[in-house]
Amino acid sequence: MIAFGAAGRTAFAPREGSGLVRAGFGANPIGFRAVRLIAEAAAALPLILQDQTRRYDTHPVLDLLARPNSAQGQLELLEAAYAQILLTGNAYFEAVAPEGLPVELHVLRSDRMSVVPGTDGWPVAYDYAVGGRKHRFAVGEGASPICHIRSFHPHDDHYGLSPLSPAAAAIEVHNSASRWSRGLLENAARPSGAIVYRGADGNATLSPDQFDRLVAEMESQHQGARNAGRPMLLEGGLDWKPMGFSPSDMEFLQTKEAAAREIAIAFGVPPMLLGIPGDATYANYQEANRAFYRLTVLPLAARVTGALANWLEDFTGDWLDLRPDPDQIAALSVERDALWARVGGASFLSDAEKRVLLGLPALDGSDGTA
């Protein structure tokens, strides 16, 4: 009796567009968790708004971000924008502005938006297709109704590059390994062992009655969770030959872990934060979390909030600096305390110079307050 298993041909998902988003986010736990981890962490960052002379506690722009529209708050709006950038490389904000500062902000789906370039290559409009209809946002004189934020793409002038694209091969491998494992469990692609029959007369073939009895006894006495560990009684020339996984089968687990690590690296998430074993880049979880904020979350949030500030300046006419406040991030408290201690102990610096180094606005000179 010989038992063997064979692997079939894998049908890989498309490497671009909605197919890649479904494969890398909707069907992959590593990609899903990496996107949610970055988007939620970046959206939860406290923001500060200031100009050349003061930091604002209250401001119309802060009020707009706190309640951008009737269906979303600041966290929901920014989380959607960060997720769109991570999944598609692009984020689109729409401003509802009869005049002056917008009264509402919305994040539009990137897969429905297309750039309309002019003769000089710069966008002259944005087309948003939904429900079989297309709405055009014209870009002309004055403030644009659309703020397009995109990640760097070396070969495209109008659209950004998503981390899903360089991680596409690793996503395919990880999803294929998951499907292989599921098929192994559902279809018993490789048995745990084989029963070998050696008859006394040299005949190695069971009669139909013997075969049916053996199959019935195996199904009733030795299959299922309640029969786990039950000893097997063999008679009449029957012998049990256990079968384990071959070295190539065992490599599937290592291959899956390596693919998961590549997906995490593409998104800039330390594998330790995603529970991927075998990663020893950081000494502990605290260091990995600090690197995650410093190298991934803060740069993304600074780029998006900076683009928002520049866009809203066209509506208000005032220079604004909108950015995350690293001093209020608990994961960076160790770095913050060390920086404040170094700057505070520098006796050769004036108070004004110290405020510049700490990213604080200058004092107004009258009452000593910012």
Name the pLDDT band for 347 (thresholds 50, 70, 90).
Answer: confident
Alpha-carbon distance values, 339 to 290, 346, 354, 357, 358 (Å):
15, 11, 11, 9, 8
pLDDT, mean of residues 53-72: 92
Helix (H) or strand (E) holding 184, with range, is helix 168-187
Please provide the DSSP assignment of 84-140 as one string. Answer: HHHHHSEEEEEEE-SSSS-SEEEEEPGGGEEEEE-TTSSEEEEEEEETTEEEEEE--
Give the tokens for residue 340.
Answer: 């404040």
List CB contacts of 327: < 8 A, sequence separation 6 or more. 336
Same structural domain, 31 and 69: yes
- CA gap 265, 174 in Å, rounded: 14
Query: Cβ of 95: how many Cβ atoms within 10 Å?
Result: 22
Same structural domain, 235 and 114: no
User: pLDDT tens for residues 14-50?
Assistant: 445 678 899 999 999 999 999 999 999 999 999 999 8
60 domain-assigned: yes
Residue 194 has pLDDT above 80, yes or no: no
pLDDT of residue 7: 38
Name the pLDDT band for 75 (thresholds 50, 70, 90).
Answer: very high
Residue 255 has pLDDT above 80, yes or no: yes
Look up the pTM and report it. Answer: 0.76
Domain that holds residue 211: 193-242
1 domain-assigned: no
| Cβ atoms 176, 256 nearer than 8 A | no
104 domain-assigned: yes
Which DSSP letter does residue 49 get? Answer: E
92 domain-assigned: yes
- CA gap 292, 236 in Å, rounded: 64
Same structural domain, 65 and 126: yes
pLDDT of residue 192: 59
254 domain-assigned: no
Same structural domain, 99 and 78: yes
List CB contacts of 128: < 8 A, sequence separation 6 or more. 108, 112, 113, 134, 135, 136, 137
Residue with tokens 């009449």: 236
Same structural domain, 90 and 197: no
pLDDT, mean of residues 99-126: 91
Across the beta sheet with 104-108, the strand order is 104-108, 90-96, 146-150
223 domain-assigned: yes
User: pLDDT tens for residues 160-178?
Assistant: 999 999 999 999 999 988 8
Length of the chain, in residues: 370
Give the tokens for residue 252.
Answer: 């599937």
User: pLDDT tens for residues 315-334?
Assistant: 988 888 999 988 888 887 77
Same structural domain, 141 and 224: no
Helix (H, G, I), strand (E, B) or coil at 225: helix
pLDDT of residue 281: 64
Same structural domain, 321 and 342: no
177 domain-assigned: no
Residue 10 has pLDDT above 50, yes or no: no
pLDDT of residue 346: 85
Residue 370 has pLDDT above 90, yes or no: no
Same structural domain, 235 and 103: no
Q: How many domains does the chain have?
A: 3
Name the pLDDT band for 67 (thresholds 50, 70, 90).
Answer: very high
Helix (H, G, I), strand (E, B) or coil at 186: helix
Same structural domain, 319 and 366: no
Helix (H, G, I), strand (E, B) or coil at 321: strand
Same structural domain, 216 and 110: no
Helix (H, G, I), strand (E, B) or coil at 323: strand
250 domain-assigned: no
Computed over every residue of the chain, the mean pLDDT equals 82
Which DSSP letter does residue 240 get? Answer: E
* % of the chain at pLDDT higher than 70: 76
Same structural domain, 150 and 41: yes
Same structural domain, 104 and 21: yes
